[in-house]
């Protein structure tokens, strides 16, 4: 079945905002190296565009977590499906996430990464649904705050589809 999707944030708006975020991050970490950690698979498009616009040296790694099933509501359980490849001790780490919803995923990931002794640990997210927060998460930067709607595109999926849309859309 094909779902109907309407544009919430256009491709141009997303690109412009990511560029701004990259510039801001580059200023924050001037003189250093930023180790970006993406949470698969949703953060891939955001992380790639962000990294391309950054002007400080960047390294990257990915972890994979599952907290959602194939539907549109959280299953409430989290498991780690792919660990870090590289040690993060002493590194300036930035977790890159597609969307902050209940906060369950980032809470878990933050605690996990903190225990590995990075020099610093910050979180940035492309999208934030503040109305849905259950677990508090301290965000260093947010792309866009959005209403409590299920969104797809720019890495975000509905049953693994629509990750490749170059804009943020809403499922009707």
104 binds, among Mg ion, ligand IMP, none (CB under 5 to 8 A by kind): ligand IMP
Q: Work out whether 74 is an interface residue with ligand IMP (CB under 6 A).
A: yes
Residue by residue, what is the 3-state secondary structure of the chain? CCCCEEEEECHHHHHHHHHHHHHHHHHHCCCCCEEEEEEECCCHHHHHHHHHHCCCCEEEEEEEEEEECCCCCEEEEEEEEECCCCCCCCCEEEEEEEEECCCHHHHHHHHHHHCCCCCEEEEEEEEECHHHCCCCCCCCEEEEECCCCCEEECCECECCECCCCCCEEEEC
Q: Is 101 a catalytic residue?
A: yes
Q: Work out whether 104 is an interface residue with ligand IMP (CB under 6 A).
A: yes
67 binds, among ligand IMP, Mg ion, none (CB under 5 to 8 A by kind): ligand IMP
Stretch that binds Mg ion, among 41-49, 50-58, 78-86, 120-128 (CB under 5 A): 41-49
Assess contact for 35 and 91: CB atoms under 8 A.
Answer: yes
Stretch that binds ligand IMP, among 3-11, 84-92, 111-119, 148-156 (CB under 6 A): 148-156
Binding mask 90-109 for Mg ion (x = CB under 5 A): --------x-----------
128 binds, among Mg ion, ligand IMP, none (CB under 5 to 8 A by kind): none
From the CB of 146, what's the least distance to Mg ion, in Å? 15
151 binds, among ligand IMP, Mg ion, none (CB under 5 to 8 A by kind): ligand IMP
Residue 134 CA to residue 101 CA, distance in Å, equals: 8
Task: Find the catalytic residue in 85, 87, 98, 101.
Answer: 101
Q: Work out whether 14 is an interface residue with ligand IMP (CB under 6 A).
A: no
């Amino acid at each position: 079945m094909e779902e109907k999707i309407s544009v919430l944030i256009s491709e141009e708006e997303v690109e412009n905002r990511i560029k701004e975020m990259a510039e801001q991050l580059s200023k924050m970490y001037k003189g250093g190296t930023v180790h970006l950690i993406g949470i698969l698979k949703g953060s891939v498009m955001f992380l790639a565009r962000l990294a391309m616009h950054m002007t400080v040296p960047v390294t990257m790694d990915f972890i994979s977590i599952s907290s959602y099933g194939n539907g549109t509501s959280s299953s409430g359980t989290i498991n780690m499906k792919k660990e870090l490849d590289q040690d993060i001790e002493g590194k300036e780490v930035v977790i890159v996430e597609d969307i902050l919803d209940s906060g369950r995923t980032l809470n878990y990931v933050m605690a996990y990464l903190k225990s590995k002794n990075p020099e610093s640990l910050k979180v940035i997210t492309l999208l934030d649904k503040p109305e849905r927060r259950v677990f508090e998460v301290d965000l260093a930067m947010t792309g866009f705050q959005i209403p409590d709607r299920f969104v797809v595109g720019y890495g975000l999926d509905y049953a693994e589809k629509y990750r490749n849309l170059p804009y943020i859309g809403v499922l009707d």
